[in-house]
Chain A
Amino acid sequence: MSEIRYAVGIDLGTTHCVMAAVDLHASDRDELAEGIEAIPQLTGPGAVEDRSMLPSFLYLPHPDELRPDDRTLPWGEQPAFVVGELARVMGSRTPIRLVASAKSWLCHPGVDRRAAILPVEGPEEVERVSPLQASMSYLAHLRAAWDYHHPDAPLAEQEVVLTVPASFDPAARELTAEAAAAVGLSHLVLLEEPQAALYHWILAAGDEWRKQVHIGDIILVVDLGGGTADFSLIAVTERDGALELVRVAVGDHILLGGDNMDLALAHTIRAKLAEQGAQLDPWQVQGLTHGCRHAKEILLSDSSVVAVPVVVPSRGSRLIGGTLRTELTREEVTQALMGGFFPEVDASARPASRARAALTKLGLPYAQDAAMTRHLAAFLGRQVDATRDLQGFAGSALEHASFLHPTAVLFNGGVFKAPPLLERTLAVLNGWLNAEGAPPARLLEGADLDLAVARGAAYYGYVRRGRGVRIRGGTAKSFYVGVESAVPAVPGMEPPIEALCIAPFGMEEGTHAELPPQEVGLVVGEPVRFRFFGSSVRRADHVGEVLEQWAPEEVEELEEIAATLPAEGRQPGEVVPVRLRAAVTEVGTLRLEAVPREGAESWKIEFDVRGER
């Protein structure tokens, strides 16, 4: 095996993937050789182009749609399934064969992520793939693209930093790592996307970054991509006289992003066209969404424009006669985006959640409240105590604060390419701060909003070799298993459940937690399921601590986990007392093990167990 030459950052996004690299051999303290990697991909049948982004779409073509020649990639492969731009284009005409948002499915606890379920709307004869396979196909394409451009330094032998949303649960992280391992990426590390964005900011600011932040700063990272919203809080502290960054909190997984905004605008216009008596077919709605995105970008970047014409081309070759024409006005954009997605709300506002209708159809758990600002208020409110135990912050936390007061904000994601949306978010946040007598938060100037995460990830691969500042943080949750409490059974009532802490908050990569004193019984030869919980606010719980009751907003139930003890050397049905031990792997995934009282062996506990039911 050759020496590692590159640190490669991969942003495996909900709507597109980006790959960046730092050449470790060519980089030193003064000069960093880094950049975005071009990704050759099909952009039309038989046409290949280099693009900086690979749309995260997989298209499962019918045999009569594309000839093998039409699928030829530069490295001579003719894959049966199409990935990237061509997949996106073909899918816009034939959605029943399109797999989209695989990443959101990968962290959807309601489905078996290893089962071939996508595309959900596909008819019987369309071959299906699992969310895991879809993610693997994007990674496999990126790997092939890399190897094509760097025949001397195959990706499998490079250090790869793969980004995941900060809000990904342990099961989704493990599945992501599994997908990467399956395509042969052996030197793998996971990094949270908001952290990657901050690494990119440090990279872009150069030595200046130390002057732009101070000890005691709390940086809020707001990452709003095509499909997801992700928040993180990173505190600036001091260790041995040097600045240190500590990620103190991450937000919930919110399926809400730029695509929702374009759709919202398209619906506004569609209603307007319907009033004029024009009915649009799905193909025209696609064109309309595209037109709205374009019009929105003009309206949001130039305040002197009052209205932008939007035309919906006809599908047939008669362009002039069949084209529908309308316009998108500034007021409509303001109302739909500012009012719908960035409303001015109080710091005490919380997202509305209505009871879900019975699950009749398989679908993604999209955010029910589109108001980004309410989600942000909820996050800051929940994390009001996030810095309480941090050195140097104890005094600064105001007693009467109702939410955590950030002092600086870094925005990331394509949505914020529209300056008014960024300004609005900052203004709302500063309004909350002002109401509690706190100074306004500073804006940390970001750049490259679409590509920052991949570049930051590659840079992290570089600094992890001891060549720059690192963000500490470890796990952003403490984890618990549910154990039935020992109370006399009452007929008709489930025994109350207690939560036993097995992994404390902030476990770092490559460490393991101590063994809790409590034992649980595992039945030999049968899968034994445990309820599994996580908390993003209980920072002080130690391993072995037992919660008898908790507030619903404090501890959240995750997917069940399961352990199976092999029957070797034991009687099936025998109950073996074990203790549960947590570890965080070098890759950055949580690993749970069942450790029996005697013997050196231990058994892995699986997260994603739905498929085995």
Chain B
Amino acid sequence: MSDSHPSFFNRLTLALRAFWRILTDEPFAASVLRLEGEMPVAAGPAVAEPPKPALRETSPDSALQLLALLQQEGRFVDFLEENVTAYSDADIGGAARVVHEGCRKVIHHYLRIEPVRAEAEGVRLTLAAGFDTAAVRLTGNVVGQPPFNGTLMHRGWRAVEIKLPRLADGHDVRVLAPAEVEL
């Protein structure tokens, strides 16, 4: 579901939307015309310009799907949406067990999570040159050149594997939990 390769259905909806807009929106039609004229140039191999750094939008689908699973098994949304100040710690603790047990089940079932560093927290370790800066964050007295010596404060977590349920085409992921009406 990458943005640069829209699926057939995405293209179909886009085509239908564009069709109406071209008919009704004159400036839009003009830009489509320009875009159409430019296409061969853009696709041509002549210009070897380095790609500009870009930010991408993430698809909300899997985020909503995971949220729905956390709600379904662990009442996650119910818990977050409740005003905890009104209750005693014992009451909150009771509910937290439901949330913990259920959410943990979801996380363990659909993801495989491992610590980034296998060492125990608190030990001294050495980071050789070329370490993965995305997976290890340096803090404190960050000066000099690697190898760096420091103390492991947090082991970090890495999702090694994620496998969410496949969804039917018409499935509305925005419904995190359906309302329940008992007849």
Contact = CB atoms under 8 A, between A and B. Distances in A.
A1 interface: no
Contacts of A46: 167-168, 170-171
Interface in B164-183: 165-171, 180
Given A44-B72, A45-B171, A313-B98, A321 B91 contact: yes
A46 B171 CA distance: 6
Interface in B62-79: 65, 68, 72, 75, 78-79
B94 A311 contact: yes
Contacts of A43: 165
Interface in B43-94: 65, 68, 72, 75, 78-79, 81-82, 84, 87, 91-92, 94
A49 B168 CA distance: 11
Given A44-B72, A47-B171, A315-B180, A320 B166 contact: no
Identify whether the interface residues of A are mostly helix, strand, loop, or mixed: mixed
B35 interface: no
Contacts of B168: 46-48, 69-70, 72
Contacts of A320: 79, 82, 84, 87, 91-92, 94-95
B94 A323 contact: yes
B98 A319 contact: yes
Contact of A74 (B72, B101, B166, B180): B166
B97 interface: yes
Interface residues of B, number: 26
A325 interface: yes
Interface in A34-62: 43-49
Nearest to A43: B165
Contacts of A47: 65, 165-168, 171
B165 A321 contact: no
Tier of interface size on chain A: 20 to 34
A467 interface: no
Interface in B128-183: 165-171, 180
Nearest to A78: B168
Nearest to B105: A294
A69 B165 contact: no
Interface in A149-171: none
A318 B94 contact: no
Nearest to B68: A44
B95 A323 contact: yes
Interface string B20-57: 00000000000000000000000000000000000000
B102 to A, nearest CB: 9
A12 B31 CA distance: 62
Contacts of B95: 311, 313, 319-320, 323
A70 B98 contact: no
B165 A319 contact: no
Given A48-B166, A321-B82, A321-B87, 17 more contacts: A44-B165, A47-B65, A47-B166, A48-B165, A48-B168, A49-B165, A69-B170, A93-B180, A309-B97, A311-B95, A311-B97, A317-B78, A319-B79, A320-B92, A320-B94, A320-B95, A323-B91
Shortest beta-carbon contacts, A-B, top 6: A46-B171, A69-B170, A46-B168, A47-B165, A325-B94, A72-B168
10 contacts: A44-B165, A47-B171, A70-B168, A311-B98, A318-B78, A319-B78, A319-B79, A320-B79, A320-B91, A325-B94
